[in-house]
Structure 1
Amino acid sequence: MTELVDAEPKSDAAPLDAHSLTWRWFGDNRMFLIGPRPAVLQNMLAELGQGVLDHSVFFSDTAERLRRTIPPIFNTVYGSEQDNAGTRVRDFHTDIKGDMPDGSRYHALSPETYFWAHATFVEQVLYFADTFVKRLTYAEREQIYAESKTWYRRYGVSDRILPADYAEFVQYWDRMMESVVVPHKTALYGVGYVTKGFPKPKAVSPLVWKLVAPVFNPVAAFLTTGGLPPKAREMLGLPWTERQERRYQRFAAFWRSRPVNAIWDRLPMSLRYSKFAQAAYAREGVTP
């Protein structure tokens, strides 16, 4: 079920470096505006959701799961071609395997499963930039996808499932959303706070959370639900009205506006970008 290969760039992909669109937007701190879109969509693939259910601390300590997961992903994107975390990320998943409820087997390194996780990150960049930064041209979409092929190959997992170009990626994405993903219990848990309220983080005192939660929970619900594809929102049973959709679109348009972008682009790198992106750009001597 696993197919490992040498992690190396190929001529059908675009460079993933300081001049790439992926670098420009993947580590942009405005990414928080899309909510947990990629994580929720990942867990809607039954095999991936089952792997999280069987092997992860996602349910008992969500913050710890994020702390372990986020740095290696960023260091795969923002590493160099010779020095990145790709194969280490792959090797974290070697023992994530087991049985599905129907008796079939799953393995995290199955190309079909592993690529879906990657695809949600690629779509994350596309959705974020087009929704909260600027309307993307088709050429920019093609470039981001070509860069993502370099990104995926850094993991050293078989690329036989890799769509050839952006058009094929869109077809793949639509097929997955229409007929493959399901409302797996892991995904349902991940969005449960939309209706039940976000659980108190372990590092926050009960008193502080009591004061913060009434403000934080509605905002988190708005960003989480609004940031999901309508099909996923429907499958997960998340409440969303036409009025909320109009509010979300106005909210997104505000962030895309020229004045807001002009202000954002003049802020210090420490505010605009994650620490991983900051370090990478500094290493390359480039300011986006």
Structure 2
Amino acid sequence: MGAEETGLFGPDSVTWRVHSDPVLFLGGLRALFLQALHPLAMAGVAQHSQFQADPWGRLIRTAEYVGTVTYGSLSQAQAIGAVVRRAHRGLTGVEPETGQSYRVTDPELLLWVHNCEVDSFLDTARRSGMRLRPDEADAYLAEQVRAARLVGVPEAMVPDSVAALADYFARMRPVIRCTAAARRTARFLLFPPMPTPVQLFTPARPAWAALAALSYSLLPDWARRGYGLTGLPGTELTATALARSLRLVLMALPTSLRQGPHYRAAQARIASVCDRTA
């Protein structure tokens, strides 16, 4: 079977294993909280995205991107990566609190977004109970270098191991700051707009708030300090226990409910190729 059918990673990759886990959405929300702490990256989102005007559409498009890059064919992954690069091209701005200018295509900013994402996916998976050996965690980050290249980050810049990723975040701690835009985003993630009937007649509002609060609690202590809300003693242990409990519940669901459409489409595509070559 060729690279076109298996895509960037393939069914035997650690990426497929991590990204197919039902708690991945917790990692996605954690990544958004973390990404917002970089003033220039946050300014780019605030000034050039539709996140505030169309939050649910933005989240759906982000999930579509991750799903296509993870499970799509090679040409599908490359095509959606090209769409993102075109969307970023020429976008510039000024971070209002410091007056510092930025380019959305700056590899350093793209690297921050990438590293927040992969750190959040990996950390959430492991803390919620997925058994990954240290070498498998390193393999996941090495695989994800391909995803970073897809949006324009030079390979040499991308951490490809747990130790390298930890070193990166240690270097970035003096950079992070909770700007007004970051605080608005955090509030938005915790309490997004919902149609009135949904708020009044369904448990969507408290359920979302609980999941978003859990995602926030899964942040590393230095990131929660960045927001000024570290939580009570034992926050990390409590968040880990809750994430494990949630994963146990989700893993008890039927496979058809746990597997996303991109994963099922990839399985069908690869099975079709195997049938033709059998």
Q: Same fold (TM over 0.5)?
A: yes
Q: Please list the CA deviations of residues 192-224 of structure 1 after superposition, one character each: whole Å capped at 9, or x if unmatched.
A: 158xx62432xx3x2430343663255135313
For 1:150 and 1:193, the matched residues in 2 are separated by 31
Q: CA RMSD in A?
A: 2.8
TM-aligned CA deviation for residue 110 of structure 1: 0.8
The equivalent of 1:90 in structure 2 is 85
How far apart are the structure 2 equivalents of 1:124 and 1:239? 17
Deviation at residue 114 of structure 1 after TM alignment: 0.6
Aligned to 1:12: none
Contact 2:128 / 2:240 at 8 angstroms: preserved in 1?
A: no
Q: Distance in 1 between matches of 2:269 and 2:142?
A: 23
Q: Which residue of 2 aligns with 1:208?
A: 198
Task: Please identify, of 16-25 and 27-36, the stretch whose mean Cα deviation from structure 2 is larger.
Answer: 27-36
The gaps in structure 1 that reach 5 residues or longer are: 1-8, 10-14
Q: In 2, are the aligned partners of 1:44 and 1:187 still within 8 Å (CA)? A: yes
Correspondence 1:123 to 2:113: no
Output the amino acid matched with 2:95: M
Task: Please give the residue correspondences for 1:47-196 in structure 2 after superposition, counting only pairs within 5 Å.
Answer: 47-84=40-77, 85-101=80-96, 102-163=98-159, 165-176=161-172, 178-192=173-187
- Evaluate the alpha carbon distance shift between residue 55 and residue 266 of structure 1 in structure 2; reply closer, same or farther with a 3 A threshold: closer
Indicate yes or no: 2:211 matched with 1:220. yes
Measured after TM superposition, the shift of residue 239 of structure 1 is 5.9
Structure 1 CA distance, aligned partners of 2:162 and 2:208? 36
Q: Does 1:235 align with 2:249?
A: no
In 2, Cα distance between equivalents of 1:120 and 1:66: 16
Higher percent of residues as helix: 2
Q: In 2, Cα distance between the equivalents of 1:63 and 1:124?
A: 20
Change (3 A) 1:30 1:220: closer
- The range that moved more, 130-139 or 155-164, is 155-164
Deviates more, 1:273-282 or 1:150-159: 150-159
Q: Which amino acid is 1:236 matched to?
A: Y
What's the CA shift string for 1:248-276, capped at 9, x where partnerless?
233234357xxx49x828832x3122212
Match for 1:283 among 269, 274, 277?
269
Q: Which residue of 2 aligns with 1:32?
A: 25
TM-superposed CA distance for 1:92, in Å, is 1.7
Count of matched residue positions in the alignment of Structure 1 and Structure 2: 262
TM-score (normalised: structure 2): 0.81
Query: Which 4+ runs in 1 deviate beyond 6 A?
Result: none
> 1:34, 1:73 → 2: CA distance?
12
Between the aligned residues of both structures, percent identity stands at 29
Secondary structure of 2:93 counterpart: strand
Change (3 A) 1:71 1:87: same
Aligned to 1:4: none
Contact 1:183 1:236 in 2 (8 A): yes
SS of residue in 1 equivalent to 2:157: coil
Q: Report the residue type matching 1:87 in the other structure.
A: A
Q: Distance in 2 between matches of 1:143 and 1:132?
A: 19
Which blocks of at least 5 consecutive residues in structure 2 are unaligned? Answer: 273-278
Aligned twin of 2:275: none
Contact 2:110–2:152 at 8 Å: present in 1 too? no
